[in-house]
Amino acid sequence: MDILYKIFLDPFVQMAGAPDLLLQTLWEGLVGGVLYALIALGFVLIFKASGVFNFAQGIMVVFAALTLVGLYGVLTGFGISNQHVAAFIALGLTVGVMFLLALGIEKLVLRPLVNQPDIILFMATFGLTYVLIGVGELIFGGDPKIMITDQLFLPRGSYDWQVFGGFVSFQYIDIAAAIIASAMVAGLAVFFSKTRIGRALRAVADSHKAALSVGISLEQIWVIVWFASGLVALVTGIMWAARSDVSFALQIIALRALPVLILGGFTSIPGAIVGGLIIGVGEKIGEFYWGPLLGGGIESWLAYFIALVFLLFRPQGLFGEKIIERV
Amino acid sequence: MLYREAGQFKTNYVADQAIFPILQDRVGIGIILLIAFVAVPYFGDGFLLQAVMIPFLIYSLASIGLNLLTGYTGLLSLGTGAFMGVGAYACYKLTSVFPNVNILIWIVCSGFFAAAVGVLFGLPSLRIKGFYLAIATLAAQFFLQWCFVRIPWLVNYNVSNAIEVPQRKFLDMIITGPSATPIARYLIVLTIVVLMTWIASNIVHGRIGRKWMAIRDQDIAAELMGIRLLRTKLLAFAVSSFYCGVAGAMLVFLWYGGAEADTFNINQSFFVLFMVIIGGLGSLLGSYLGAALIFGLPILLRILPDMVGISVHSATIEHLSFLIVGALIIFFLIVEPHGLARMWQIAKQKLRVWPFPY
């Protein structure tokens, strides 16, 4: 009886008792959710266009952030005295690196593996993950680095909002992350619906064969989507690293974004965003109010359970296309 | 010339259905077993047995387990590491509660605990498929790993929060614990792995294996043919987890000699999955080849610079081996997406028609 009371009543009493804490937890969940959504977005872009489950998305985030910080170090070493100029040149160069990466992946990994079963392509992105870890550590070293937030004009500090007799604290960097993420999603949406390439992308996502038959070059499209998700990875990397630091541990956090995918559906961009927010909030609330009951640390699997519960009712995810199977 | 079946006639169905229908295969497997049971322990030194052969065999068993699920039944699982962990923790609990029962019995019994957990986490496979299922099995991975860390009862409230393998004997021979000789452990591992491979081979060649493959190829069609999906899929999860559990128990008791929760982390799952894919989905031989390649490569990369005489910083080697293993995985997938087992088949065919390929 006592345990039921603790599970079903206590947490809600706590919530009602300290609404400012609840708001704070909600906000932190949303912020975490935005970052999960961004990682999931990178997955979805590639899955939609090429049917590849890109396990390397997590390491691409790390790789992009490392490249940015590394290039900045090189540039300042070469005597570019203005920090901001150096930072933005490094940013531009990193975008270039991500493009080359996309080009290389398409040429060396995807093209030779055209028409192979999904699981083989999935495995190939595993190989890619290892290569990127190896290259990243060889060039930049494995020690954590500090993100160049100030140099990129990203704000720091926080704002305390007095409410409900307490206060809720908003980190400026989180607000910036939310704004930039929304801008990027809006940009992608416009790109997908208004431009010629965007229409080609959607055609490829619908059917590879039909797209080929109307003269769309699959190779070109794949380079573009991998580049696009490389850019998403770069933004994610900057935002995430600004809150902690740049290290290979980020790659593990990317695994936590996987439930977002099954929740939102592999092929749905709105799904990735809504799923990300649900998982982010669910995780934080669960950890904060129910975690102590179970001894803490439940963040690592709670997201998977939330996603599984949703999946039992909708096997294709919240926004996924209905799975139609033919024999 | 070297490898031909000309003149070997089969006069009954039993001979036709044999797993090794050709004389050369039977001789070959006999020689391999002879080398494994006699030559390796007789000539091999402690390093070869302890650092190469024992883990290779254990990982082969784990990849056979995963192969039964992913290769034969078509259900992608990323929870292998956790199922191995269940086996290891179950074995530790059993042998500490009943220390007088033979440890080998507990190693095999621990597989049943892993099987039960596997069935539990296999339940979603009825609703969800493909990559959705793969991520769902990650739930098992993270949840079980969390259990290993958070439930001190599992490790008998040890201060180190880790499994400490006690000393156990089999026929007056010490086989677990720090004072066990590598040869004794090697022979035990080899016997278990060979027996379980034999059982697996019989399962996949029989009625159950054919049901699994029918589900892999098209589960709706299989259902229409009267195969009960629920039972068959769960059976696949159970058998697969059983194998992984036994492999996990052996990993800790006969190789590491101790383990904490992090031993069974997600990288362990990926490691075994690599072996299955590189070795060949749906092939028992492939499980061995994959384990040899994926487990052997990093060892080779570590030894190689010393042998050539170049001194490289050890951290650099670590990074390089990541890079090289990753590149080789991609390379192998491109060269032969069906794995090393298919390569062996092609080689066999070449030998069969040599020297007149037309």
Q: Do A300 and B145 touch (CB under 8 A)?
A: yes
Pick B135's closest partner by Cβ from A259, A312, A315.
A259
- Across the range B340-358, mean pLDDT stands at 82
Q: Is the pLDDT assigned to residue B63 strictly greater than 90?
A: yes
Within 8 A of A120 by CB-CB distance, chain B residues are: 277, 333, 337
Q: Is the pLDDT assigned to residue A276 strictly greater than 70?
A: yes
What digits encode the pLDDT tens for the residues B92-116?
A: 888 888 888 888 888 888 999 999 9
Interface of B with A in 255-274 (CB under 8 A): 266, 270, 273-274
CB contact, 8 Å: B135 with chain A?
yes
- Across the range B14-36, mean pLDDT stands at 82
Q: Do A301 and B281 touch (CB under 8 A)?
A: no
Interface of A with B in 65-104 (CB under 8 A): none
Banded model confidence at residue B2, pLDDT cuts 50, 70, 90: low
* Residue with more model confidence, A295 or B115: B115
List of domains in chain A? 2-313 (1.10.3470)
Q: Is the pLDDT assigned to residue B304 strictly greater than 60?
A: yes
Give the span between the Cα atoms of A59 and A55, in whole angstroms: 8
Which pLDDT value is given to residue B302?
Answer: 77
Within 8 A of A262 by CB-CB distance, chain B residues are: 128, 132, 135-136
Interface of B with A in 67-86 (CB under 8 A): 70, 76
- Across the range A70-89, mean pLDDT stands at 79
A14-28, B209-223, B288-302 — most confident range: B209-223
Q: Is the pLDDT assigned to residue B243 strictly greater than 90?
A: yes
Within 8 A of B278 by CB-CB distance, chain A residues are: 123
Q: Do B323 and A138 touch (CB under 8 A)?
A: yes
Strands A158-163 and B163-164: unpaired
Among chain B residues, the shortest Cα distance to A305 is held by B139
Q: Is the pLDDT assigned to residue B1 strictly greater than 60?
A: no
Interface of B with A in 155-214 (CB under 8 A): none
Give the span between the Cα atoms of B210 and A209, in whole angstroms: 33
3-state SS class at B174: strand
- Across the range A81-86, mean pLDDT stands at 76
Sign of the Cα pseudo-torsion (B231, B235, B241, B245, in order)? positive
Q: Do B326 and A132 touch (CB under 8 A)?
A: yes
pLDDT above 70 as % of chain B: 97
Contacts of A123 (CB under 8 A, 6+ apart): B273, B274, B277, B278, B329, B333
Amino acid at B7: G
Q: Is the pLDDT assigned to residue B237 strictly greater than 90?
A: yes
Q: Do A315 and B132 touch (CB under 8 A)?
A: yes
Which pLDDT value is given to residue A13?
Answer: 75
List of domains in chain B? 21-353 (1.10.3470)
Q: Name which of B282, B273, B278, B275 is nearest B210 in CA terms.
A: B282
What digits encode the pLDDT tens for the residues A94-107?
A: 899 999 999 998 88
Q: Is the pLDDT assigned to residue A311 strictly greater than 70?
A: yes
Which pLDDT value is given to residue B310?
Answer: 67
B291 contacts B103 by C-beta, under 8 angstroms = no
Give the span between the Cα atoms of A177 and A308, in whole angstroms: 28
Q: Do B145 and A129 touch (CB under 8 A)?
A: no
Q: Do A305 and B143 touch (CB under 8 A)?
A: yes
Which pLDDT value is given to residue B203?
Answer: 92
Residue B249 exposed, middle or buried by CB count within 10 Å (0-12, 13-18, 19+) = buried
pTM summary value:
0.87
Predicted-complex ipTM score: 0.82
Phi, psi angle pair for A125, to nearest 5° = -70, -25
Among chain A residues, the shortest Cα distance to B132 is held by A262
How many A-B residue pairs are in contact by the CB < 8 A criterion? 139
Give the span between the Cα atoms of B163 and B47, in whole angstroms: 24
What digits encode the pLDDT tens for the residues B64-74?
A: 999 999 989 98
- Across the range B247-260, mean pLDDT stands at 85
Pick A308's closest partner by Cβ from B124, B281, B330.
B124
3-state SS class at A96: helix
